[in-house]
Chain A
Amino acid sequence: MTALYVALWLTFGGGGLLALTGSRPRLTHVLNVLITLGTLISTLVMARTVLDSGALLATNQQFYVDAFNVYLIVLTAFVGFTTSVFSGPYMTHERHKRQIPAGRMRLYYLSFQGFLGAMMLALSTNNLGILWVALEGATLGTVLLVSFYRTPTSIEAAWKYFVLCGVGIAQALFGTVLIYFTATQIGLNADDALLWSHLSDRAHDLEPVILSIAFVFILVGYGTKVGLVPLHNWLPDAHSEGPTPISAVLSGLLLNVGLYAVVRIKMLADTALGMPETGYWVHMPGYLMMGFGLVSFIVAGLFLHKQQDIKRLFSYSSIEHMGLITFAFGMGGPLATFAALLHMAVHSLTKSAIFVTVGHATQIAGTQAIDRIRGLYNTQPLVGGGLLLGTAAIAGIPPFGVFTSEFLLLSATLEHWPWLSVMLLMGLGVAFAGLFRNVQPMVFGEVPEGQQPVRTNMFPVVVHLLLVLGLGLSIPDALAGWFDQATLLISGGRVL
């Protein structure tokens, strides 16, 4: 458990430290990388303990780590690390090009670490109230980064992000209050009534009617964070207007954390509604998630075709994949849950790799407009190739890991909801076309005047894509066992 404290202290304390050294770019960058590396190592140590000895409870039960969230914690630390490696040279380039004052660089590093720390806290806390606070904190931490460049559009994006997410998450707080209320009804004392471990022990006693109302509020609230479709308006704006490292962590990580919160509550709701006397409400949470997920998946796939901004393009792709994962969690059952967990991991890795590449691509072309980025492969083969491979991976071309998880999900759908698999396949096709009609000319088109290579750092892209490839070819036993444990926790069954 010490490992968890090390990780949390490193990120929060590190943020403060970086804010102090922010005016000296090289030192700050190295420190940033070291801090995230330290965080990654400590989370790996923690994962080891959890896998060996089961779920951990610590500090008056305020922290709870089991196979499900430890995997997300490691993922967060890992992507945080690679992104910090990338953000050094990227931000140096941006600083020179846009003449950003040193003070704002302090803000950048402070917010970056604060954001990572808030997500770690959200993932590891046992207290549903703290979970809410941390998720809201993660939003607040990144709002000023979205408006980092102080352009009119970026301020607009940040405002939308702030107001919509703030409003959405208010719903989640209402849901949390309701859960607290039912928990006190069944005699949990005030301090334990929001602790997930206690709630999950007593979940079958919780009042199903109230819990189902609470779940609707939670789904809408945290669903705003996930970017589920009627609530997704802020997402493409926020992800496309901020600095690219932020887009990478927003798209790759924050969405996962939002979904994590929903799934935690769903686990409670499933148990409570699963009691025999509740009748047809049993599958309500699952059906709701499936509906939201499917709509997001299809609508975002269609929107891919309309995009004219490269970062917006991949933001919509994030909505699409989050929709798919939500759908899979909603369907429940071991196979679909396993697919959802795997997809969460491969999507985070691939999407952050893509955003890193996209960041370089926009620096090469000097614009984010799709029709003015052309012939990346000729200008800088590494960036062009990276973009192409990344897109191939996210579109679900074998042998990348995304294909594996989508394939698993499709088989699960065929088994339980055969007619929905048609919609899934169509959606995947539409998304595939939407991505490639935009990416292909950017990679292979004719090179326009004035497009020059830039200093790049493709290390994160290479590592991420190799990992995704590896996950697609064969999942190592240890990792598969890990996913299997998480699947058992969420769905109550095993795949392996």
Chain B
Amino acid sequence: MNLTEMNLFQQAILTASAMVMFMSFLLLSQSRVISTIHTFAAQSVLIVLITGLVAIEERELHLAWSALLTLVLKVIFIPWLLHRIARKFRIQRAADIMYSPALVMLAGGAIAIFCYYIALPIERYIEGITRPIVAISMTTVMLGFLILITRSKAISQVIGFMAIENGLFLAAVSATQGMPMIVEIGVAFDVLVAAIIFGVFFFQMKESFDSFDVDHLNQLSEGDA
């Protein structure tokens, strides 16, 4: 379907999903802890927006519920929790040093193209306007991995983890108009528990390392184990 034949509603969905991908790139390039939290929250807002728009467009009531669930969990609860942790341990302004950010960004671009290539055969079977979003969701997932790999602060890794979750959610929305409700609830529950466990971890790390740098977590390796 050509973009010009769509109504403004559908164009908004596509634009928002492009913004989701942009947020992932932004997450990749940012180093300040606090700004990554904000970017993550913004990405979640976009996801809620897309879910809501698709729910209205496709007349799917249960998507509206999962949009609400995401709103509560990923726009409000998790950013709040991370914010609290950052404030409590005074790491809001801490920067996460990244080696050669330009190279990482280029790698991100390469990943985006690769995902587009992978998603082509899948998209062939999708009808409707959400079809191009599959590649974007896949890119978001893969960029989440890249964030996880390139960061050394525990809190940035959490953000990467949650960005992956966002991508998966977008995939479910775009490819299949959401998963069955029971699965959605289960996944949301897992994310919630994961967020809480992350919170517990920060306290444990603080106790034993006095730092959130995962570079301290290097005693267990095959080299000298």
The answer to whether A and B touch directly, with their CB atoms under 8 angstroms apart, is yes
User: What is A's interface to B at a CB cutoff of 8 Å?
Assistant: 127, 129-130, 132-133, 136-137, 140, 143-144, 147, 150-153, 155-160, 162-163, 166-167, 170, 173-174, 177-178, 180-182, 184-185, 190-191, 193-194, 207, 209-210, 213, 236-237, 241, 303, 306-309, 312
Number of B positions contacting A (CB below 8 A):
47
Q: How far is the CA of A136 from the CA of B172 in the complex (A)?
A: 18
Q: A140-B193, A170-B168, A185-B125 are in contact. Are A129 and B186 (CB under 8 A)?
A: yes
- Least CB distance from B92 to A in Å reads 22
Q: A156-B219, A170-B164, A184-B176 are in contact. Are A143 and B225 (CB under 8 A)?
A: no
Q: How far is the CA of A173 from the CA of B191 in the complex (A)?
A: 13
Considering only residues 126-143 of chain B, those with a C-beta below 8 Å from chain A are 126, 138, 141
Q: How far is the CA of A173 from the CA of B126 in the complex (A)?
A: 19
Q: How far is the CA of A166 from the CA of B198 in the complex (A)?
A: 12
The answer to whether A174 and B205 have CB atoms under 8 Å apart is no
The answer to whether A237 and B186 have CB atoms under 8 Å apart is no
Q: How far is the CA of A178 from the CA of B118 in the complex (A)?
A: 13
CB<8 Å pairs between A and B, sample of 20: A127-B180, A127-B182, A132-B183, A133-B190, A136-B190, A137-B193, A143-B197, A144-B200, A155-B201, A155-B208, A155-B209, A156-B217, A159-B205, A160-B220, A162-B194, A167-B148, A177-B168, A177-B175, A209-B121, A210-B125
Q: How far is the CA of A112 from the CA of B218 in the complex (A)?
A: 28
The answer to whether B179 and A177 have CB atoms under 8 Å apart is yes
Q: How far is the CA of A136 from the CA of B218 in the complex (A)?
A: 25
Residue numbers in B under 8 Å from A170 (CB-CB): 141, 144, 164-165, 168
Q: How far is the CA of A153 from the CA of B180 in the complex (A)?
A: 40
Which residue in chain A gives the minimum CB-CB distance to B148? A167
The answer to whether B208 and A144 have CB atoms under 8 Å apart is no
The answer to whether B175 and A150 have CB atoms under 8 Å apart is no
The answer to whether A167 and B121 have CB atoms under 8 Å apart is no
Q: How far is the CA of A129 from the CA of B187 in the complex (A)?
A: 9
- Least CB distance from A369 to B in Å reads 10
The answer to whether B201 and A190 have CB atoms under 8 Å apart is no
Residue numbers in A under 8 Å from B201 (CB-CB): 147, 155, 158-159, 162
Q: How far is the CA of A2 from the CA of B164 in the complex (A)?
A: 38
Q: Which of A130, A140, A152, A191 contacts B209 (CB 8 A)?
A: A152
The answer to whether A163 and B148 have CB atoms under 8 Å apart is yes
Query: Is B204's CB within 8 Å of the partner chain A?
Result: yes
The answer to whether A129 and B122 have CB atoms under 8 Å apart is no
Which residue in chain B gives the minimum CB-CB distance to A169? B190
Which residue in chain A gives the minimum CB-CB distance to B164? A170
The answer to whether A159 and B176 have CB atoms under 8 Å apart is no
Query: Is B161's CB within 8 Å of the partner chain A?
Result: yes
The answer to whether A163 and B209 have CB atoms under 8 Å apart is no
Q: In this complex, which of A152, A177, A180, A303 has the most chain B Cβ atoms within 10 angstroms of its Cβ?
A: A177
Considering only residues 147-198 of chain B, those with a C-beta below 8 Å from chain A are 148, 154, 157, 161, 164-165, 168, 171-172, 175-176, 179-180, 182-183, 186-187, 189-190, 193-194, 197-198
Residue numbers in A under 8 Å from B165 (CB-CB): 170
Residue numbers in B under 8 Å from A150 (CB-CB): 204, 207-208
Q: How far is the CA of A241 from the CA of B217 in the complex (A)?
A: 13
Q: How far is the CA of A170 from the CA of B121 in the complex (A)?
A: 21
Residue numbers in A under 8 Å from B5 (CB-CB): none
Q: Which of A137, A140, A174, A194 contacts B141 (CB 8 A)?
A: A174
Q: A166-B194, A213-B122, A306-B222 are in contact. Are A133 and B175 (CB under 8 A)?
A: no
Q: Which of A140, A144, A180, A237 contacts B176 (CB 8 A)?
A: A180
- Least CB distance from A379 to B in Å reads 26
Q: A153-B219, A162-B197, A210-B125 are in contact. Are A190 and B141 (CB under 8 A)?
A: no
Query: Is B77's CB within 8 Å of the partner chain A?
Result: no
Q: What 3 pairs between A and B have smallest CB-CB spacing?
A: A129-B183, A133-B186, A156-B217
Q: Which of B121, B171, B194, B200 contacts A210 (CB 8 A)?
A: B121
Query: Is B145's CB within 8 Å of the partner chain A?
Result: yes
The answer to whether A155 and B204 have CB atoms under 8 Å apart is yes
Query: Is B214's CB within 8 Å of the partner chain A?
Result: yes
Residue numbers in A under 8 Å from B176 (CB-CB): 177, 180-181, 184
Residue numbers in B under 8 Å from A308 (CB-CB): 225
The answer to whether B209 and A210 have CB atoms under 8 Å apart is no
Which residue in chain A gives the minimum CB-CB distance to B214? A159
Residue numbers in B under 8 Å from A237 (CB-CB): 220
Residue numbers in B under 8 Å from A132 (CB-CB): 183, 186-187
The answer to whether A140 and B194 have CB atoms under 8 Å apart is yes
Q: A129-B186, A213-B122 are in contact. Are A167 and B208 (CB under 8 A)?
A: no
Q: How far is the CA of A191 from the CA of B217 in the complex (A)?
A: 44
Residue numbers in A under 8 Å from B161 (CB-CB): 163, 166-167
Residue numbers in B under 8 Å from A163 (CB-CB): 148, 157, 161
Q: How far is the CA of A153 from the CA of B209 in the complex (A)?
A: 10
Residue numbers in B under 8 Å from A156 (CB-CB): 216-220
20 new A-B contacts, CB < 8 A, other than A156-B219, A163-B161, A173-B168, are: A129-B180, A129-B183, A133-B186, A133-B187, A133-B189, A133-B190, A147-B204, A152-B216, A158-B201, A159-B201, A166-B161, A167-B161, A167-B164, A170-B164, A170-B165, A174-B171, A178-B122, A181-B126, A213-B121, A236-B220
